[in-house]
Structure 1
């Protein structure tokens, strides 16, 4: 079995890679120009706080989309009993069947929802199904709803963007770094979604920045959140976002550096 490195050995190994420790009271010139270990730890902290903020926005979106769907079903589909639409989703496209089975399986194995499982695992109404469905399942159900029921332009637009929002949600929930390769050529799109172009023009995002996968996902998240948020929630998250931006500028290390 390979011996575990001591702390000093690990630091020595890192230094040999060209990373210095000048902002952490250790001096060493390296192969990478102007790269200090403090920059990496600061960027890691920023990325963590960014993920926490974005995950909150995703949770807001998840709740808001569920409310929009339930309101649409109850207000505009008076003949819908709440059960048929779930079974139609189950018996419809293959993705509907898969998401339905995953949702029911998760319900049956959720130790906090034993009573709900006992009552509804065989035939859940839509208000129960949406309560327990995953973000991916919500995305699939919303697309199905918009394709098979009378809906609104607002919900249709949200539905077309929700799949991109899901990417951010999954990355944040699984602690996948957001800032790594944010504008990497490997993530550059030959063709961006048409809907993104109009949104980015309205909110002032440079055209060239909208050809990257993460930017498409982020634009989608911000657009959906703004579309569904209440005024109070909007102000709350706006203030949190401003504090996060201030955190980005705590140091001036990155003004002329490319990490």
Structure 2
């Protein structure tokens, strides 16, 4: 028999506010009228309700001292965070293609057509182990925006066509195949997966500022690069950042995005544009910082810590670029921008 679910009726925005009020959510900093308007024009109840997991409840499942404005604020922070992530990861995806192209062009013994052929062989072997078939043409995503390009070049299947039409996941997998078969080390490769996960979550409008049941996997490379980035941060905060970035999945993936962006994005104009966006988000984090210290609201500690760690990471990136421009960057910080290194020629 199928599992029965308790179906809940669809409520109007006014009824949703009544339901929240019944659980002790106040409407003092934000009036009920404005709350109804917010739930009608800015977001929807199910999404906003997800953010209430950042607050403790009493034994009766009611909130202690939470105002609708507190939920409104987290929703706004989440929106700004997703916007920042989408901008950063868009830069990364473009810059990864540039790096891939530059590496292929740098070595005479690398055939750009063979790069894609080898990737297809790797994928075919991977799927064969799972008793599944692999269809290379499915890697080329067709749409009204790519069809003309595909019609013209698909028979030859150059790597450049692949970049322009593949998913980010396929791009990363192909880059891994290329690095492996050509004995090239790229410091940021292990970080690309965390970057991709956060990019996908942001692009699908998932709520990011909610507690997670998933812990981050330990990464030696991330830990090393994080040490370089936050070397000037006071000791207590440095320890706090290391502990939470290496354990909290959101902070882990956010650090992957920032560090990958530092390493991959070489355009000064793109960099300066993102720095402006980072500073804007830092300012938004500070807008209601007094609320997060209000013990009567019973914010969960992890929520407040996440915001604090994000701010430290972003400020560290800003300082990194300031020191770079002033010529005051340390040797370890310089390592954050290390280019890929080829150990020897291709594997046989």
Fold conserved between structures, TM > 0.5:
yes
Provide the rounded CA distance (Å) in 2 between the counterparts of 1:128 and 1:173: 23
Equivalent position of 1:102 in the other structure: 138
Equivalent position of 1:187 in the other structure: 214
Aligned pair partner of 1:88 in 110, 113, 118: 118
Which deviates the most, 5-14 or 168-177? 5-14
> How many residues align structurally?
246
Once superposed, what is the RMSD of the aligned Cα atoms? 2.5
Contact 2:24 2:63 in 1 (8 A): yes
1:98, distance to aligned residue in structure 2 (A): 4.8
Equivalent position of 2:308 in the other structure: none
Equivalent position of 2:250 in the other structure: 214
TM-score by length of 2: 0.65
Equivalent position of 1:198 in the other structure: 224
Equivalent position of 2:333 in the other structure: none
Contact 1:99 1:137 in 2 (8 A): no
Equivalent position of 2:55 in the other structure: none
Q: Once the two structures are superposed, what CA deviation does each residue of 1:148-203 show, in whole Å capped at 9, x if it has no partner?
A: 1142x4xx22222111110111011101122111xx5x3234x5111121122222
1:246, distance to aligned residue in structure 2 (A): 0.5
Provide the rounded CA distance (Å) in 2 between the counterparts of 1:2 and 1:212: 33
Q: Once the two structures are superposed, what CA deviation does each residue of 1:213-232 show, in whole Å capped at 9, x if it has no partner?
A: 22221111111100122333
* 2:25 alignment partner, SS class: coil
Aligned pair partner of 1:233 in 245, 266, 270: 270
Aligned pair partner of 2:286 in 242, 245, 249: 249
Provide the rounded CA distance (Å) in 2 between the counterparts of 1:256 and 1:10: 25
Contact 2:104 2:111 in 1 (8 A): no
1:100–1:225 Cα change, 3 Å: farther
Gaps of 5+ in 2: 1-6, 33-60, 128-132, 231-237, 301-348
Do residues 122 (structure 1) and 148 (structure 2) align?
no
Do residues 147 (structure 1) and 175 (structure 2) align?
no
Provide the rounded CA distance (Å) in 2 between the counterparts of 1:250 and 1:68: 38
Q: Once the two structures are superposed, what CA deviation does each residue of 1:120-144 show, in whole Å capped at 9, x if it has no partner?
A: 2333101111111111011101111
Greater RCO (Cα-Cα under 8 Å, separation 6 or more): 2
1:5–1:176 Cα change, 3 Å: closer
Contact 1:99 1:140 in 2 (8 A): no
* 1:42 alignment partner, SS class: helix
1:162–1:42 Cα change, 3 Å: same
Q: Once the two structures are superposed, what CA deviation does each residue of 1:22-60 show, in whole Å capped at 9, x if it has no partner?
A: 11235xxx9311211111111101101110111110011
Aligned pair partner of 1:37 in 68, 71, 80: 68
Do residues 70 (structure 1) and 106 (structure 2) align?
no
